[in-house]
Amino acid sequence: MNWRIAAASAIGTSHTKNEKPCQDSVRVRLVQTPNGPVMISAVSDGAGSAAHSEIGSRAAVTTATYLIENFLEAGGLVRSIGRDAVLSWLAQIQMAISTFASEAGASTREFACTLLVAVIASEDAVFFQVGDGAMVVREEGDEGWSYVFWPQHGEYINSTNFITASNAAEVIEFDAVSRRIKEFSAFSDGIESLVLHYATKTVHDPFFNNMIAPVRQVPNEGLDDELSESLLNYLNSERVCARTDDDKSLVLATRYEPGPPSADAAS
């Protein structure tokens, strides 16, 4: 079964109050290759203190997915993606952001943002990340969800790394696996506290079990606009905003066959 996907970014109530734009960006692409479909997910969270970080985050996800699509369409295989290729992509993403900064007559620091990317083929996957937020997966046969990288936080919970920093290539995390990933989610730090247990470094399974259930029911492959709109409404809901005032992004993807709603969805 091919991927069915919902994705959304929602502005935080603190940004609305301070008349700031949503600084999160998300972009998901499904690329058909001779070896089967490949899903590309990119999530970026612009630094709250950076004047143009919404442009930086948008440039980051757009450039990242563009580069990876070009690689796949030229015949590249996910299992052949190594750390050097990822560092090359990172440099090109930084260059794209630097171009925006030059045109605006501003420092690249004013475009600071994080970046979380997943490239998932039938039996192989590559992940890389700079900054906070996280990606979680459920592999075939697994009951629960596991994180790919733990969010990058500095000395304080609200400090992290950004792709615009000079040490981005040193702090980037990279992983390549040869396993069949059946379900995937990525999210910005705006909802970290809702979905991760910091003390035990574990994933809050019930959240993802509940959220993935409607995605499993989507009959058509690819990004579902209606479900993505429903996800946006959920992220904007009073229930979520009462627990976080930050921007928040969430990607949900599954390749389980559509079937009866899971027991978790009713809990």
Total count of domains within the chain: 1
What is the reported pTM? 0.93
CATH code assigned at 61: 3.60.40.10
CB 25 within 8 A of CB 249: yes
The predicted-structure confidence for 167-205, as pLDDT tens digits, reads as follows 999 999 999 999 999 999 999 999 999 999 999 999 999
The predicted-structure confidence for 42-75, as pLDDT tens digits, reads as follows 999 998 788 888 999 999 999 999 999 999 999 9
Tell me the chain's radius of gyration from C-alpha atoms. Answer: 17
Contacts of 103 (CB under 8 A, 6+ apart): none
What is the DSSP annotation of 120-177? E-SS-EEEEEESS-EEEEEETT-SS-EESS-----SSTT----TTSTTHHHH-EEEEE
pLDDT at 267: 34
In terms of residue numbers, what domain contains 167? 4-266
The predicted-structure confidence for 205-235, as pLDDT tens digits, reads as follows 999 999 999 999 998 999 999 999 999 999 9
Residues linked to residue 27 through DSSP beta bridges, in sequence order: 42
